[in-house]
A and B are shown apart, each in its own frame.
Chain A
């Protein structure tokens, strides 16, 4: 009997405390800086073009094969505005298949892809989450704005990573 009362004591103690739960759709807890949401493509604001050159390294390394991309000659390069000779033409990710593993971000040598903080993407259609280059860049811009993202890899390659 005594031990049951002890247990009751625990619940009584917590009765007056502030609730630890958050009412989800009304209240959003902030996500951590490193939170891995869906992948997004970053935008080079200096040259006004994507960082992605369509090299397809991420596509070959994705465990679920949820991405496709093609590249084209960069018109801005001919005008001498950009150092990227090639640029991404089409980029599509089926976010419904993405398992948020961050392998694409890790293998990209151009800082072109990031794990954004986007995570609420329910759709009614089975393939409703196939997003194209435009949408990915929008997600990326949002992420860059929210977190003040800076490219790092171009300056100093990641430790221990050799292609």
Chain B
């Protein structure tokens, strides 16, 4: 600055680099992104991850198989049951264990309840991201009810450690069915209320419609999965395309979006909650009696030498576990394919040419969990 304010020299515009995070209230965890802006427009965006890296994959190599399940609880800390299921299924596949029917059904109930709980959390925080304070109150009211069921069944509200190789730790409590019968109408009403409250609100539509569009081709190219992929119009769901556990016995739809914008990503999740409720109703109707643990599974698990890959549909997308066993009681290698990690990359495409004000909305609509991204 020369202090010469009367200059006639033309002002040049510069791209400005803005650093957002890692400690930013709306980054959904410790996540840093660097955004280059030209005025109000975003030119480029780059995600920087690793702030929540706990070395889960490496840690797994030093733990007994039963202890690794506790690590999977802590990967994606809002959909714990789904993670536990994937890891247990990987070992079961390797060992050729047939899980009893009742255990499979209870697993499905827990996973679907977890999916609803996770989407309700998304619903609340997405509301906050666009500047609506009310939705989180409704989302958390119903999420709390689900967690109270979790507490009754597994003893913990978040870190359950409930699924075991070959079945479950213990059977559901005796009043489980009554509690579910009470919970389901409440949830159904809750989801409808959530939908009415926010989905077609004019301000909300203005903030999310045609914002952060991810085309079908881009979504596939980035390897996106889950609601992000389905919002772009690809009807891909591991529960349908490669049914695992007993999902092939239930009748449910795979909701897809049309445009792949933020609103579609939001509404796909609302629809998914309805579908999950439908699944739970069917599971409860068919829930058989019987053992909950496969016979002959020893306490110290030693799967045979070999490798296996298992994938399941987590609330955030396609969650995969690649497990190599060398025949000992500890895994030789555990590789995790986290859906949020790949969905996060697709954000670059969504953000191109968006406005600065929409950064938080787009990030919120992807619904990442950093525990899973960084592992």
Contact = CB atoms under 8 A, between A and B. Distances in A.
A61 B295 CA distance: 22
Contacts of A35: 151, 155-156
Contacts of A115: 155
Contact residues on A (Cβ < 8 Å of other chain), bracket: 20 to 34
Interface in B193-236: 193, 196-198, 200-203
B287 interface: no
Nearest to A107: B299
A160 B134 contact: no
Nearest to B199: A3
Contacts of B153: 34
A3 B299 contact: no
Interface in A71-104: 99-103
Interface stretch (A6-14, A47-55, A122-130, A135-143): A6-14
A154 interface: no
B152 A34 contact: yes
Contact of B159 (A14, A100, A161, A162): A100
Interface string A1-33: 101101101110010000010000000000111
A63 interface: yes
A160 B168 CA distance: 11
A33 B153 CA distance: 9
B289 to A, nearest CB: 14
Given A36-B155, A161-B299, A10 B63 contact: no
A159 interface: yes
A1 B155 contact: no
A102 B169 contact: yes
A10 B134 CA distance: 11
Residue of A10, A106, A162 contacting most chain B CB atoms (<10 Å): A10
B110 to A, nearest CB: 14
A163 B70 contact: no
Nearest to A161: B299
Given A159-B291, A160-B167, A162-B298, A7 B201 contact: yes
Contacts of A107: 299
A33 B67 CA distance: 24
29 contacts: A1-B202, A3-B200, A3-B201, A3-B202, A6-B196, A7-B201, A10-B196, A10-B197, A20-B141, A32-B148, A33-B152, A34-B151, A34-B153, A34-B173, A35-B151, A35-B155, A61-B66, A63-B63, A99-B70, A99-B159, A100-B156, A101-B159, A102-B169, A103-B67, A103-B70, A159-B293, A160-B295, A160-B296, A161-B299
Interface of A: 1, 3-4, 6-7, 9-11, 14, 20, 31-36, 61, 63, 99-103, 106-107, 115, 159-163
